[in-house]
């Protein structure tokens, strides 16, 4: 359990500058608990999970969406009637 929380906190570090003031305050308090090697209670563990969902998961979804858009554009470029081997300079 402790390792999971530490992993989530590590993931959140790069998003600290994007957090709201309240979330940033909570995150800093959670990091202090981690540094002091205090155990995380149920509420703290839940709060880390909420912050992770709010910031990290959104980034992953945005990355996936951008990859799908990029892929769909590439598929359209090589769609029906377009042959990738018929570019200029290449023999058929």
pLDDT (tens digit, 9 = 90+) per residue, 12-48? Answer: 999 999 999 999 999 999 999 888 888 888 999 999 9
Q: Note the pTM of the prediction, 2 decimals.
A: 0.61
> At a CB cut-off of 8 Å and minimum separation 6, what does 19 contact?
27, 51, 55
Q: Is 34 exposed, middle or buried (0-12, 13-18, 19+ CB in 10 A)?
A: middle
pLDDT digits (tens, 9 = 90+) for 44-85: 999 999 999 998 877 777 788 888 888 887 777 666 655 555
Give the 3-state secondary structure percentages of the chain, helix then strand then coil, rounded to 5.
75, 0, 25
Sign (positive or negative) of CA dihedral 25, 30, 36, 39: positive
The residue assigned the tokens 């990355």 is: 63
């Amino acid at each position: 359990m402790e390792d999971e929380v530490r992993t989530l906190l590590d993931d959140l570090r790069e998003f600290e500058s994007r957090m709201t003031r309240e979330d940033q305050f909570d995150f800093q308090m959670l990091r202090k608990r981690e540094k002091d090697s205090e155990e995380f209670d149920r509420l703290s563990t839940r709060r880390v999970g909420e912050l992770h969902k709010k910031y990290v998961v959104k980034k992953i979804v945005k990355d996936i969406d951008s990859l799908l858009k990029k892929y769909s554009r590439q598929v359209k470029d090589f769609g029906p009637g377009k042959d990738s081997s018929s570019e200029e300079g290449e023999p058929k």
